[in-house]
Structure 1
Amino acid sequence: MSSTDPLPAEGRVTPTGSWETYKRLLAYVKPFWLAFLLAVIGNVIYAAASTGMAAAMEYVIAAIENPTDGNRILLTLMIVGVFAFRGLGTFMSQYFIGYVGRNVINALRNDVFDRLLTLPSRYFDDNAAGRLVSKLTFNVEQVAEATTNAVTISLREGLTIVGLLGFMLYTNWKLTLIFLAVGPIIGAVVSYASKRFRKISKRIQGSMGDITHVASESIAGYRVVRTFGGEDYEQQRFREVNDRNLKQSLKMASTQAISVPVIQVLVAVAIAALVWTMLAPEIRGGMSTGELVAFITAATTMAKPIRQVTSVHAKIQKGVAAAYDVFETIDERPEQDPGTYAPARVEGTIRFDNVSFRYRDQLDNVLEGITLTIPAGQSVALVGRSGSGKSTLVSLLPRFYDHTGGDILIDEHSLRDYSLKALRSQIALVTQNVVLFNDTIAANIAYGALRDCSREEILEAAAKAHALEFIERMPEGLDTMIGDNGVMLSGGQRQRLAIARALLKNAPILILDEATSALDTESERHIQEALETVMQGRTTLVIAHRLSTIEKADRILVMDGGRIVESGRHDELLDAGGAYAQLHQIQFSEHA
């Protein structure tokens, strides 16, 4: 298992501590160790040059006191050389750590997205789409701060501090110990600020998820917002989450703004104590003026890297909080897929054996005691009031949810015996809420595993779905871009593309969940003809509110309260005068 692979599903625990999370984040750096090494070398060069500049002050003073031609040339070359050397170190550290950081972000985004595609339906029920998008964009970008800027500053300024301290110890160790006396106080300030930064960062990320969520809802539903005068309400909702984000961001800024000057004052106190002590002859010893100036220069030069290293904690804590949130998603258990049975094509006999189902955290079953056999090639229509369990029942077939009691079998093999990929390859699905992608018409019909289908096959599926009549009127035919979720198409046109997609898949099992609901009467007539053709030889489950569309079904099941209360053909059920006859009577009188 590579360092970037998610942990096994069993017993997986997201690390809770800052250091554990950061260690896991640094594991993503391993594949780019060479670039990281070059960045470290660049930081070493920078630190050496910065230390050299302080040490050079001794030679500058000597050159000023003894201005010979040789000293003038040496001093000029030394100034240019030190700055050129430091410039090389800056380039190497910034470019290569940037290279590592962006690659880490790329890998993290891929891992999060890959995991999202494998998570069970309940995860998407529990998490708003806006918040998940925020994880992929804002949170992962925050990790970049921790793996690029923060690492660069920590390494570069940290090594500079080490180099300057080494020089100071070499020059006069007694004076250096006085300077280091403020170290524990600085450490305590940094520790307190770090904890506060991490806590506030978590809140900021949560509020950014809320902002994305509210904004995406308002943008996606702009027609409803405007029609029902929801502008003021949406503005208020957005302002509330935006103000919450502002409040947390200001807390972060104030903590950073207070901690940095406090540390600077502490460093200044240490430098002042140095200057005061240096004037005592017993401490100064035999140090020359040049050595004293070089020592003071090293001490004052250290103020900037100390400030930088302490201020970087805010970025590191932001990154750690973001990484924790990202790893939480990566560590979510994917859909359980223990099945291995993978036939090329099933016959399509479906059997429900005393099936029950309840949603997580609910006490009552949504489905109860469903026992039913559907022979291969038969069409079964499910009717009943809203909330009777029709859509839930068909959602169990592709295993969007797992039944909680009994068993479901296809060709006498339990659904759990099938691998998810093999099971879903046997099923074509058309739902009431059509999902289309911002791509061409052809790419939407031949989507996913169907992308290798020929142009002729796509045209044939479109013709059967009666979609060709509007496709041919489009400016670029099959190659016309249809906008976000097919915004440029009417409801009926979008529905026909979804039906064409199902026709092209040519699966032995077909699920039509209100497939004709968005169609006008003329389109519906065409679609009914197409569906009757495509249903031949396929096991079809049809959910329909309009009973006129399912009169020719081989069998009609009436559901109520999660149970099957009636079963039979259209004429039989009408003659029986039960629930179906009542539904039919209501619709017939409404239509009349």
Structure 2
Amino acid sequence: MQPLPPSSRETLLRLLGYFKPYWRIFAAGILAMVLLAASEAGIPALLKPLLDGTFVERDPFYLKWAPLALITLFLVRGLAQLASSAAFAAISTRLMHRLREEMFERLLSLPTAFFERTVSGNVISRFTYDVSQISHAGVQVFNALIKDSLTVIGLLAYVFWLDWQLSLFTFVLLPTAALIAKYVGRRQRRLSRELQDSFGDMTHVLEETTRGQKVIKIHGGQDYERRRFDRIAKAIRHQQFKLAVASTIGVPIVEFVGAVIMAAVIWIGTGRAAEDQLTVGGFVAFFTALGLLFSPVKRLIKLTDPLQRGLAAAESVFALLDELPEVDRGTRSLPEARGALRFERVRFRYPGADRDALGPLDLEIAPDSFTALVGASGSGKSTFVSLIPRLHEVSDGRILLDGIDIRELGLPALRRHIAFVDQQVILFNDSIANNIAYGTAADSERIRQAAKDAGALDFIEALPQGFDTPIGENGVKLSGGQRQRLAIARALITDARILILDEATSALDTESERLVQQGLERLREG
């Protein structure tokens, strides 16, 4: 195997750290690998006494026990193979589970800025494609690396014990294999990174096509989407083809070098056998061991493909795990809030921008009051309201809640007093009741009251399953107005002192909007 550059070595060492909790399973797998490698070397070792003792010397001991030894050897091989495969499969599945849990936990804590700059398809691809690549590499690489390395060591030791002079030919094979692995590995690493990015792009296109299928149909965007998908699919095909060629290019070279070595061994070995320097059984055993040596060497060369894919995938996964979570240095709590907000010289600027998107702003909002922000599209209304729950951090100035700087409050302590309905409604593929009660332990009575206050009760009760009706992905089975009313009900059920509606009634008809306003008035009155 090729020496790994420092970055790859660090990635590999970090990945190996995930194996520590499973060291017992790992040790059992290694033990099974040792037995498997020993049985590989045992095949030619059994041939020498079998041929010399039965066919040449006609020794009755060998005639009786050689067949039993052969059966026992292959029985041990089969059991060792099964045990090692089961051990590494157990580690691999546990590794995938742990990585995905850690990634999801980090995803839940990432700031809004991360999701604004990151394509969602690339994030999804890390959970599906990249983690699977790490698992595949974990099983295939460790399995083959340990088994085949031990096999090579065992076979080399045996051929050197049989005839050290003939064994010197192996010093031609092994350096050739190492040079091939070094060259191929560099190319495969680069192609693996490109392939990961392409799969992320494909996931993104598929997600947009699925979500925007109505727009595509109405605006005749099929040809455009077809071209966009075809471009990415072709890129993936080319990258996979190059990876496939790179992973197999070293095998015929090793086979050719091996054929030359085998020919030389036949030519020199037959002469040594004729001079009684090597028995027939010894020559056949040596030739068999040398032949068995080529297969693990070829497999070790081909390991550069899954290894580089796995390392590239691990880099991508660790990049997500290393993303900084939301800044939360607040230590104060606020069990009860009145809802008084004050903005003092508040400014906000997006990262990398050359001017402020908002501010300087001074504003005071009294408890139990309605405050409307009016302005042109793009004037910063949504940015303004996102500062209150700290979805974005102010660049300058401060925001006070009941006289306390919101940065002094822990994020959970702050957000428990805030309910938010975005202009882009987000619903979950669950029942109506679970969507309304999301994040709370509300009972059915509270769910029903929240639906009534949001003007959603009538249409919910008209459905065959009522509150138990599944609404599909992002509420696809509901109208725009119905989706918006469910989002409002979800906000109302929290009984938060601060309710933020970012154009939340834009899709409602006049009657529904009137019902929502009446519900808000009841909440304000207590």
1:121-520 equivalence runs, <5 A: 121-281=112-272, 286-448=277-439, 450=440, 452-520=441-509
Q: Distance in 1 between matches of 2:272 and 2:43?
A: 26
Runs of 4+ in structure 1 over 4 Å off: 66-70, 282-285
- Equivalent residue for 1:574? none
> How far did 1:139 drift?
0.9
> How far did 1:500 drift?
1.1
**What is the number of residues matched between the two proteins?**
521
Q: Distance in 1 between matches of 2:307 and 2:492?
A: 52
Local SS of the residue matching 1:354: strand
Q: Distance in 2 between matches of 1:245 and 1:296?
A: 43
Question: Given the alignment, which residue of 31, 38, 41 partners 1:48?
Answer: 38
> How far did 1:66 drift?
4.3
Q: Which range moved further: 65-74 or 380-389?
A: 65-74
> How far did 1:532 drift?
2.2
Local SS of the residue matching 2:169: helix
Distance 1:17 1:285, change over 3 A: farther
- Is 1:529 matched with 2:518? yes
CA contact (8 A) 2:273 2:283 kept: no
> How far did 1:397 drift?
0.5
- Equivalent residue for 1:576? none
Local SS of the residue matching 1:268: helix
> How far did 1:301 drift?
0.5
Distance 1:283 1:167, change over 3 A: farther
- Equivalent residue for 1:82? 73
> How far did 1:68 drift?
5.8
Describe the superposition over 1:505-556 as per-residue Cα deviations: whole angstroms up to 9, x where unpaired. 001111011111111222122122112222446xxxxxxxxxxxxxxxxxxx
Q: TM-score, normalised by structure 2?
A: 0.96
Describe the superposition over 1:311-330 as per-residue Cα deviations: whole angstroms up to 9, x where unpaired. 11100100000000110111
Local SS of the residue matching 1:159: helix
Letter in 1 for 2:117: D
Letter in 2 for 1:57: L
Q: TM-score, normalised by structure 1?
A: 0.86
Q: Distance in 2 between matches of 1:419 and 1:280?
A: 84
> How far did 1:82 drift?
0.9
Q: Distance in 2 between matches of 1:284 and 1:426?
A: 95
Q: Which range moved further: 526-535 or 330-339?
A: 526-535
1:63-74 equivalence runs, <5 A: 63-67=54-58, 70-74=61-65
Describe the superposition over 1:185-223 as per-residue Cα deviations: whole angstroms up to 9, x where unpaired. 221111001111111000000110011011111111000
Local SS of the residue matching 2:137: helix
State the superposition RMSD in angstroms. Answer: 1.6
Q: Distance in 2 between matches of 1:67 and 1:474?
A: 89
Q: Distance in 1 between matches of 2:320 and 2:237?
A: 25
CA contact (8 A) 2:272 2:278 kept: no
> How far did 1:283 drift?
11
Describe the superposition over 1:244-263 as per-residue Cα deviations: whole angstroms up to 9, x where unpaired. 11111111111122122112
Letter in 1 for 2:109: T
Describe the superposition over 1:233-278 as per-residue Cα deviations: whole angstroms up to 9, x where unpaired. 0000000011111111111111122122112222222232322332
CA contact (8 A) 2:180 2:301 kept: no
Q: Distance in 2 between matches of 1:136 and 1:289?
A: 57
Letter in 2 for 1:520: D
> How far did 1:504 drift?
0.8
Q: Which range moved further: 61-70 or 253-262?
A: 61-70
> How far did 1:124 drift?
0.7
- Equivalent residue for 1:23? 13
Letter in 1 for 2:339: G
- Is 1:59 matched with 2:41? no
Local SS of the residue matching 1:380: coil
Q: Distance in 1 between matches of 2:315 and 2:277?
A: 55
CA contact (8 A) 1:432 1:515 kept: yes
Q: Which range moved further: 462-471 or 419-428?
A: 462-471
CA contact (8 A) 1:175 1:283 kept: no
**Unaligned 5+ runs, structure 2:** none
1:98-109 equivalence runs, <5 A: 98-109=89-100
Local SS of the residue matching 1:40: helix
Q: Distance in 2 between matches of 1:90 and 1:283?
A: 39
- Is 1:34 matched with 2:24? yes
Describe the superposition over 1:43-79 as per-residue Cα deviations: whole angstroms up to 9, x where unpaired. 1111111111111111221223345654333122112
Q: % of aligned pairs identical?
A: 40
